[in-house]
Structure 1
Amino acid sequence: MTNVGYGNRTPFLTASASARLRAEIDQLLDQQVVEWYANVPAAAHLEGADVDSEYYKRNLIETAWRIRMLRVAEAKALVEIAKRSPEAAQVWANYEQEEMLHDELFISDLEKVGVSREQFLATEPYLSTKLLAGYFSYLLDHEGPLGVVAYSYLVEYVNVKLEPKKLEALRVSVGEANIDGQISHSHTDINDDHPGEVWAAIRHLLTSADDVVALKRYLREHQSILAQYFQELYLDTIAEKQPA
């Protein structure tokens, strides 16, 4: 039989080599964060004191849509992961079990600021969100599951690093009672060590030096698509209210 996770299951990277690569990847992501703040319009808007209500609401809407759309591709990725590594599949399945319904956390915060579930469902996702979901499908069809898992490492690493600062600002600007869902989401990411969990899956999926090169490319490409989203969000909300 083939494609059932048998064969050589010894990780390509030893534990120490995996730790070194993860440190290198984290440095790469830190640099991407610096570039993000420098180049993405209103990148730190939610960390400020004067938060635009439409920007805030639409970001919650789009976050919930991304979770809903991407979880389908991420569930499909589990099948492809299981064909390669049962160990990675076990880790990924547990991670997905913890994240699968987190769209409801953001929808609950939307309802607290006057956006009903019906209004959320009636809002068309941005093109950038559709492109991200389409990119996931492309990866699974043509390159394998590593790129899908790489996206989760990017967002989990950045969320654990930056989300506490953003939430502290939102406690003041929006009110702590209105961000319970986002606090709960962040609590899961941090206390269940989601970056470490996703990295464990990545380690089992890396089979060659070419995979390491591809991993770095995936992180850059995901960053680029997310930057398109925040550009779209900015133009749709804040920029419309600024004088020409």
Structure 2
Amino acid sequence: MPNRVTNVGYGDRTPFLSSTASAKLRAEIDEQLDQQVLEWYANVPEAAHLEGKNVDSAYYKRNLIETAWRIRMLRVSEAKALVEIAKTSPEAAQVWANYEQEEMLHDELFIDDLAKAGVSREEFLATEPYLSTKLLTGYFSYLLDHEGPLGVVAYSYLVEYVNVKLEPKKLEALKQSVGEANIGGQINHSHTDINDDHPGEVWAAVRHLLRSQDDIDAFKRYLREHQQILAQYFEELYLDTIARAEKQPA
């Protein structure tokens, strides 16, 4: 009688991509993300707002609130993703577990900066996340139920790559507009992403999860879809803060 145990990652775990092919694909993916960043700046309202000199206080605070909520809500789905990853690739699961361990409590870094901006923990907890954040969380659940964990991991690669590329510039601007003493949590978060090479760490998990050309095509598609949902959030943030204030009578 054959062993009935399955979904424990004991099959052929030879990576689909060699080290050379993996590096080549990652460079291709990074080019796609660079293009997506250009599209982001061109199409998303106030995409570079936090990089400017005159930062809207409501926009800044609400973005911190939403960032903390996204970390809190998505870490539930990302923890569930670990189970699915472990069923197929223990190597990817080990990398993903370490990455999640490093990121799991970073909501507190943003909540600390909120306090410095005059928003209490109670006020944060009383603020319901935007619909776009709920939809992103729902998309993660859909992926895990119907397509697998690759799309969830793709989100982390997108945000880690973009954060390492763009966050230093934004933080330098915020030091001038908000004050360096008031953005310590955001600085610490960025230092973790950069110093622990989170893009490289997530890519290591991606490599083990890519098992075919279809997976590669899906990964590229996930990156585009995640950006569309994130764009919805930033449009919602803009309409709720800057645009709302502009409509108020002088």
Q: Which TM-score applies when normalising by structure 1?
A: 0.99
Query: Structure 2 CA distance, aligned partners of 1:171 and 1:81?
Result: 39
What fraction of aligned residue pairs are identical, expressed as a percent? 85
* Pairs within 5 Å for 1:140-219: 140-219=144-223
User: Given residue 120 of structure 1, which amino acid in structure 2 is its aligned partner?
Assistant: F
> Aligned partners of 1:242 and 1:53: how far apart in 2?
13
Matched with 2:81 is 77
Of 118, 126, 144, the match for 1:122 = 126
Residue 32 of structure 2 is aligned with which of 28, 35, 38? 28
- How many equivalent residue pairs? 244
Q: In 1, Cα distance between the equivalents of 2:244 and 2:149?
A: 39
CA distance in 2, matches of 1:98, 1:68: 14
Q: CA deviation at 1:27?
A: 0.1
Aligned match of 1:238 in 239, 242, 245? 242
Structure 2: gaps of 5 or more residues: none
Compute the displacement of 1:43 (Å). 0.1
Distance in 2 between the 1:67 and 1:214 partners? 24
Among candidates 62, 71, 91, match of residue 66 of structure 2: 62
Deviations 1:116-148 (A, max 9, x none): 000000001000000000000000000000000
Taking the aligned partners of 1:91 and 1:81, their CA distance within structure 2 comes to: 10
- 1:170 maps to a residue whose letter is L
Structure-2 separation of matches of 1:84 and 1:90: 12
- RMSD over equivalenced CA pairs, Å: 0.7
- Hey, what does 2:48 align to over in structure 1? 44
Measure, in 2, the Cα distance between the counterparts of 1:56 and 1:112: 12
1:112 and 2:122 aligned: no
1:65 shift after superposition: 0.2
Residues of 2 paired with 1:170 and 1:80: CA distance?
Answer: 39
Corresponding residue SS for 1:49 = coil
> One-letter code of the match for 1:94?
N
Q: What is the rounded CA distance, in whole Å, between the counterparts of 1:5 and 1:25 in structure 2? A: 26
Deviations 1:6-48 (A, max 9, x none): 1100000000000000000000000000000000000000000
Which residue of 216, 223, 226 corresponds with 1:222? Answer: 226
Q: 2:139 aligns with which of 114, 129, 135?
A: 135
Q: CA deviation at 1:94?
A: 0.2
Runs of 4+ in structure 1 off by over 4 angstroms are: none
What TM-score results when the alignment is normalised by the length of structure 2? Answer: 0.97
The one-letter code sitting in structure 2 at the alignment partner of 1:145 is: P
Flag structure 1 segments of 5+ consecutive residues without an equivalent.
none
CA–CA distance in structure 2, aligned partners of residues 5 and 54 of structure 1: 48
Aligned counterparts of 1:7 and 1:97: Cα–Cα separation in 2: 27
2:99 counterpart of 1:95? yes
SS of residue matched to 2:96: helix
Alpha-carbon deviation of 1:243? Answer: 4.7
Computing the radius of gyration from Cα coordinates, the structure with the larger value is 2
